[in-house]
Structures are given as C-alpha cells and as structure tokens.
Structure 1
Amino acid sequence: MSRGLGERIVAQNKNFDITAAAAADYQNKAVPAMFEPLARATMAKIDLPEGGHVIDIACGTGVAARIIAEHLPGTGHIVGTDISEAMVAVAMRSEPSHSRHRFTWFASDVVDMPCDGETFDIAFVQQGLQFFPDKPAALAEIARVLKPGGVFYVTCWAEISPFNGSIADALEAAGEADAAGKARAPFSFRDGDMIATLLGEAGFAVERRDTVELFRRFGNPKDQVMSLPAGKDIVALGETRAETVFWDIERRLSPYLSDEGYAVPQKAHLFGARRL
C-alpha cells in the first residue's frame, strides 16, 4: 500500500493546529453527539463488498472507520488517514481490539497520500470535503488510489445546523463577525448540484444522491461548543463576554431542549460516485 511513510508525512502535518487535548475533546464530545450518529445513518444506506479494501479519508479520530468495520462483511482491510497526527493518534488508540478486519492508520495530506494507485474498492470522506483547500486536486488523488470501478462515498452538510447557527448568531450579536463566519464554515460547501458537478469533473460518475438526517444529542451546550474551534474564539473574548455569549447560545438552542436533553436536527448530502 505505502509509497513510503516517515519524515515526509510528519513534515506535511507539523503546522496543522490540532493539539492532543483538542483531539481527545473531539472524540469525547463531538463524536458521540454527532459524528457517530452520522456514520451509522450513512452506513445504514450503503452495501459494502465482502472482504473489501476501504480507505476513510479525513478520518478524524476514526469513528467512520470503526462503523465501517461493523458493516464490512468477510475479512477486509480498513485504512484511516487524516492530516492531523493528533487525530490519528486517537484513532489508533480507539481501534477495535477484536475486529476481524486489519486496520492501518497514517497522517497525510489528502492531495498526496502515500498509497499505491488503484488500491481501494471503496473510499469514504465524512464531512471533510468542504475543508480541502484544493478540492479538484484532492478528488484527483482519491480517484488515483481507487480501483477502476471503485466507489467514493462522501457526505457534506446540506444546510446550516441550528447548533452552529446559534453559535454564529450569538457571536454576531457580540460583534464578532469573523468568529461567526468560522462557526458557519463547516456548512459553507452545501450546494448539492455544485458537489455533483465537482465529482463529475474529477472523473467520477455520480450514481447515488441521497440525504442523511440525524440529531445532534447532548446535555451541556457549553461542553459541545468547547469541542469546536468556536469555543476557543469565545474564551478569547474574556470571562465576562464569553459567559454572555454562552448564555445567548443556550437561549437560542432552547427550542431543542426536552427532558432527555438537547436534540438538534442536522441534514447531510450523501453522494455515491464510481471511478470511471
């Protein structure tokens, strides 16, 4: 699989600003509240080939890879890669201990993955495409590592989540327009027609266009916000202003609160595209 791991990969990622603490926070808060439910809802709509060779790109702390392992029939090989070494370190520690599948993890930029060409049957990107600075280059690299006829599954948010929207609106009300824009950034690439066109231009035939719906469930809004980059922006405002913003976020989220906690709806695009 590898074209040579080592110092080159470290050099690509040394400036990516995710600390070990932030990666652990993401795993403990954002994953159970949102990214695991999204992965489960996605996999419920997909059939995987027996003994498949699968790569999870922008894998974060590996939640989609772990859910893939539950659904992949036979004995397969699952590879997880992310630009953040801290995220990959958590993914490695969280690998299922008794899985019948083989796992491989590495840190790499999506535009230059250390994999041989035509290696994988399936490629996944869960909520990562919107963050790739050079999307055509990233898609070209994904096509390179897929076997001819291999399938690429990608999810992107279809609309701004009321959760992030509440964060952004509270920041704007506090006069922090730049931080508000960052809070909405994960939802900036949500035009389904544009995504389909981009996939076609990269040499994929879009065979499936679907919607995945889920609820982000949590108990404490502040804990959830602090698992996101927006949390750092809010804390930087100083204790008094930060508490005002946190209070405003909680107020805006109150329609989604019940006796069981918060349940905030989110909707995502799901595309299945075959490499030509």
Structure 2
Amino acid sequence: KLQEEDFPCSTAELELVFDGLDAAGTGRLRIEEFTAGLRHVMSSQTAARDHRRRKTASRRVRLVLPSPVVEGEDSEERRHFAAFVEQLGMANNSEEKEIWQLWVKLQQEEPQLLGNLEDFVAKMRHRIQEARSKKEALEVTLNKRAAEHKEEVQQLCEALEQQIQEEKQRLEQESMARSHQRGVELQRALDASEREVQRLVTEQAELETRCRSLRSMQQVTSTENRQLEESNRELEEHLRHVHQQLQQNQGRLQAARAA
C-alpha cells in the first residue's frame, strides 16, 4: 500500500484522480488521460522537491521507447517495463510511449514510487476488468431484455392485429345482417305497397264499372220517365175527353128526363 511519507499522493488520492478523470463512470481511461492527471497531482504536491532537485541535478532524460536489445541493468528494467506494459494490455505505441515517459520520470526522480504505481495500475486494471465484466453482463442483460421486449411487443402487435381483425369481421357480419334485415323489411314494404296499389286499381276499376252502370241506369230511368210522362199526358188528355163526353151525356140524359 502507498504510504504518505514515501509519496505525496496516497492510494486513495490516486483512486480519486482516477474517479475524477472517469467522468462517464465507465471504469476506463485512456493512458494519456491517466498520465496527464497523475502528472498534475504529482507536480502540484511535489513542487518543493522539484525546486530542490533543480538546484542539485541537471540531468535530462530522453523520453523515447527503448531499443529491444540492451544489456545490463537497464535491459532488465526494460524487461520489467515490457512485462508491466503487457499486463496492461496496451497495443498502441503512443500510449506505451506515454507510460514509459512516466516510468522513466519516476525511476529518475522517485524510484520508490514505481512499486506503488504498479500496485495502483494493477488495482485499476482489476477495477477496469470488473467494470468491463459488469458492462458485458449488463449488455447481455440489456440484449436479453431488448429481445424479450421485442418479443412482447411482437406478441402485443399480433394480439392487437387479431383483435382488430375479429372486430372488423364482427362489424362486417353485423353490417351484412343489418343490410339483410333492411332488405327484407324493404321487400316487405314493397310487397305491401304493390298489394295496396293492386287493391286500389281493382277498387278503381270496380268504381268505374259501377259509375258506368249507374250512368246506364240513369239513361234508362230518364227514358222511362219520359215515357211515363208521355203516358200521363195521354191519359190526362183521354181523361179530359171522357169527362167531357160524360158531361155531354149527362146533359143529354137530363134533357131527356126533363122532356
């Protein structure tokens, strides 16, 4: 574990640096982001030491990637660094160069911090792996839920479509039934109207026949009335003639009686 007397940044502070830089909460940081944040903490907390070192040392370190074949202690150190980089799983040369710069700086200025850096990076790597595992598990869960949701939506759509189809068929059947009923009622009304028209036509024909019969009877009656009137006149004339003859005969009879 990091000790405050050996290093101005404790493990908790390094974790805070990592958490502060990991604003998205993904558990991942680019090497450039991490080294930049770590440099900032180191430069702010070791300003006094840097001031003293500038007075007593003028060494400069050329921050480049080492050649693969170097003898002695430096070669062993670089093998150690290569194993450290392999543990980090870096495949980008620029990222490897950044971490090598930090490695060389720590070895030159704070060699006792290399172990702390390795511990911290190992811990961060474990946390990153855990975060990656959680992310993968979350992705699996989300994919499963998405598939289940898709299946539920599909089933809901199919059920809704089936319900719509059944409702459509029901409405069509009801419409056909109502149309058939209206057709039957209209046919009944039409038949009744035709019967009524036929009845009226028959009644009209009967009335016309009766009217013609009445007119014929009127004509006959008128003729008979004229004949009766003529007979009456003839009878009345004959009656007057007979009455006159009777009076004449009575006068003659009276005259004869008187004589």
Q: One fold, TM greater than 0.5?
A: no
Bigger radius of gyration, 1 or 2?
A: 2
Higher strand share: 1
TM-score tier by shorter-chain length is under 0.3
> What is the TM-score with the length of structure 1 in the denominator?
0.20
> What is the TM-score with the length of structure 2 in the denominator?
0.21
**Bigger relative contact order, structure 1 or 2, given CA contacts below 8 A and separation 6+?**
1
Higher helix share: 2
